[in-house]
């Protein structure tokens, strides 16, 4: 015996359509918010006409495609005409809502549903009218969970005699859906499409579905707005921390250099005058560069000017060797990153060593990274013990903190040193280079 084919009852088919309709609304809202231009429109309440038109067509065309699919494929779950028109007006204003209403009503008009375009344009104006009346932030507070707290909002409305805007905004799609049901009963489904319930409970579920088709996209878009604002705040916080660290290292460097020059003013005035000239040149370079990142080539040039000052102080006892891989010269690095490392090698390693010493600055490629090292053969220090006296100074702490703030906790200054053997400071930076200018 062949198995009997069972079809859904009209009530179960309607319930399935309502569930799919909510899923379609959520999917459409999620897809649209992934586009940067659409998301930027949601971030501000004062929109130019071009932005309103962009929103209207970006949102209206997919909704109108849902209406066309209903007309051609008899797939009613994709029809979000009422909720879409009202939502567009609520988010972007009455004219954007009217445009979306026209876009979704036009296919229905061509199919003989001549009442549809009037109702949908009216829904767009209704959403826009509520937008003009209500506080703008109240719109984004509308939530699908409002239904569960309906008793609280009703009590607030009755107890304080104040307008509860969340309840008022939700009442809009409720009233419009009931109006569509009444007009469909009066003129027939061939003039205005609406889902046909068989009892009052199904009417309530249809109304609830329309409300959810409005509130769920608002919730999704508001979540995207909040995430974007948090990201912007995190960027501003990181920028402020980087600026604070940069402003910290510059006075520190200047103080140490001036201290070195002051020790030569009486004993070697000509040398002190020469150092002041070199210092002024270095400061001019720092003042000209207001950016937080420079190429390794520019950073090495700054180090050369700093080393010119220190070489005058130490004479031939200070030997500087550079082993810079050419392919790393365009690597972007935080400005004033190497100067504290070189200064630490001179101040705490070589200056206290009899007979001077050597500093080696090297760079090379590692998988996905540029590795920079500053090595000295000075007296060294114990890196595995606390530093209560601050021998490592503010400079090394600053470099370490800047690396963590800019690149994350996995990036930091690595020091390897032992008393009497010198110090190796190692930095790994993710590869990020500037494109070279094309030459004629």
| 278 and 403 assigned to the same domain | yes
Among 183, 213, 232, which residue terminates a domain? 232
Rg (CA), the chain: 35
Among 185, 213, 232, which residue terminates a domain? 232
pLDDT tens, residue by residue, 51-94: 899 999 999 999 999 999 999 998 899 999 999 999 999 999 99
| 220 and 88 assigned to the same domain | yes
3-class DSSP state of 383 = coil
Match 């009931």 to its residue by tokens: 178
Distance CA(415)–CA(402), nearest Å, equals: 15
Among 211, 232, 253, which residue terminates a domain? 232
Domain count, the chain: 2
| 104 and 217 assigned to the same domain | yes
* Pairing of β 318-324 and β 357-366: parallel
Residue 169's domain comprises 10-232
With b for 16 or more beta-carbon neighbours within 10 A and e for fewer, the 40-78 pattern comes to ebbeeeebeeebbbbbbebbbebbbebbbbbbeeeebbb
Contact (CB, 8 A) for 242 and 405: yes
Distance CA(18)–CA(212), nearest Å, equals: 10
| 275 and 212 assigned to the same domain | no
Distance CA(17)–CA(26), nearest Å, equals: 14
258 assigned to some structural domain: no
| 132 and 268 assigned to the same domain | no
Q: Give, as one character, the DSSP assignment of residue 434.
A: P
Handedness of CA 181, 187, 189, 193 (dihedral sign): negative
Contact (CB, 8 A) for 369 and 353: no
Q: Give the model's pLDDT for residue 152.
A: 57
Q: Give the model's pLDDT for residue 384.
A: 52
Contact (CB, 8 A) for 118 and 105: yes
76 assigned to some structural domain: yes
| 92 and 132 assigned to the same domain | yes
Q: What are phi and psi of 382, to 5 degrees?
A: -85, 115
| 176 and 310 assigned to the same domain | no
| 228 and 270 assigned to the same domain | no
Distance CA(80)–CA(195), nearest Å, equals: 12
Q: What is the dihedral angle through the alpha carbons of 260, 263, 265, 271, rounded to the nearest 10 degrees?
A: -50
Task: Give the per-residue SS3 of 211-239.
Answer: HHHHHHHHHHHHHHHHHHHHHHHHHHHHH
| 219 and 133 assigned to the same domain | yes
Q: What are phi and psi of 372, to 5 degrees?
A: -120, 135
| 210 and 323 assigned to the same domain | no
Q: Give the model's pLDDT for residue 389.
A: 44
Residues of the chain with pLDDT under 50: 1-2, 5, 289, 385-386, 388-391, 435-440
239 assigned to some structural domain: no
151 assigned to some structural domain: yes
2 assigned to some structural domain: no
pTM, two decimal places: 0.62
Residue 374 sits in a domain whose CATH number is 3.30.565.10
Name beta bridge partners: 372.
363, 427
Helix then strand then coil, % of the chain, to nearest 5: 65, 10, 25
3 assigned to some structural domain: no
CB burial of residue 144 (10 Å; 0-12, 13-18, 19+)? buried
| 143 and 30 assigned to the same domain | yes
173 assigned to some structural domain: yes
98 assigned to some structural domain: yes
| 209 and 271 assigned to the same domain | no
Contact (CB, 8 A) for 349 and 379: yes
- The string of DSSP letters for 140-183 reads HT--GGGGGGHHHHHHHHHHH----HHHHHHHHHHHHHHHHHHH
């Amino acid at each position: 015996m062949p198995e009997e084919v069972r079809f859904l009852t009209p009530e179960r088919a309607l319930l399935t359509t309502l569930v799919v309709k909510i899923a379609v609304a959520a999917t459409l809202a999620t897809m649209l918010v992934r586009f940067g231009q659409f998301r930027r429109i949601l971030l501000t309440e004062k929109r130019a006409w071009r932005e309103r038109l962009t929103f209207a067509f970006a949102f209206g065309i997919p909704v109108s495609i849902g209406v066309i699919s209903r007309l051609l494929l008899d797939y009613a779950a994709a029809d979000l005409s009422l909720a879409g028109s009202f939502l567009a007006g609520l988010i972007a204003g009455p004219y954007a809502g009217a445009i979306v209403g026209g876009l979704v009503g036009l296919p229905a008009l061509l199919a003989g549903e001549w009442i549809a375009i009037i109702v949908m344009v009216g829904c767009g104006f209704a959403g826009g009218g509520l937008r003009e009346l209500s506080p703008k932030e109240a719109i984004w507070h509308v939530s699908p969970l409002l239904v569960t707290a309906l008793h609280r909002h009703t009590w607030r409305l009755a107890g304080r005699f104040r307008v509860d805007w969340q309840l008022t905004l939700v009442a809009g799609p409720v009233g419009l859906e009931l109006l569509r049901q009444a007009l469909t009963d009066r003129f027939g489904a061939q003039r205005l499409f609406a889902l046909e319930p068989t009892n009052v409970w199904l009417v309530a579920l249809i109304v609830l579905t329309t409300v959810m088709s409005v509130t769920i996209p608002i919730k999704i878009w508001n979540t995207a707005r909040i995430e974007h604002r948090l990201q912007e705040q995190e960027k501003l916080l990181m920028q402020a921390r980087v600026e604070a660290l940069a402003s910290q290292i510059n006075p520190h460097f200047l103080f140490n250099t001036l201290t070195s020059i002051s020790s030569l003013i009486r004993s070697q005035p000509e040398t002190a005058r020469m150092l002041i000239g070199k210092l002024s040149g270095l400061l001019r370079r720092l003042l000209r560069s207001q950016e937080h990142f420079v190429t390794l080539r520019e950073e090495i040039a700054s180090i050369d000017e700093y080393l010119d000052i220190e070489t005058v102080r130490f004479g031939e006892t200070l030997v500087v060797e550079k082993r810079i891989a050419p392919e790393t010269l365009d690597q972007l690095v935080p400005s004033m990153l190497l100067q504290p490392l070189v200064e630490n090698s001179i101040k705490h390693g070589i200056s206290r060593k009899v007979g001077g010493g050597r500093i080696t600055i090297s760079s090379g490629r590692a998988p996905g990274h540029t590795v920079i090292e500053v090595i000295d053969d000075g007296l060294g220090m114990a890196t595995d013990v606390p530093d209560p006296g601050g021998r490592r100074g503010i400079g090394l702490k600053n470099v370490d903190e800047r690396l963590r703030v800019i690149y994350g906790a996995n990036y930091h200054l690595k020091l390897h040193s032992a008393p009497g053997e010198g110090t190796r400071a190692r930095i790994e930076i993710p590869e990020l280079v500037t494109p070279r200018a094309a030459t004629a």
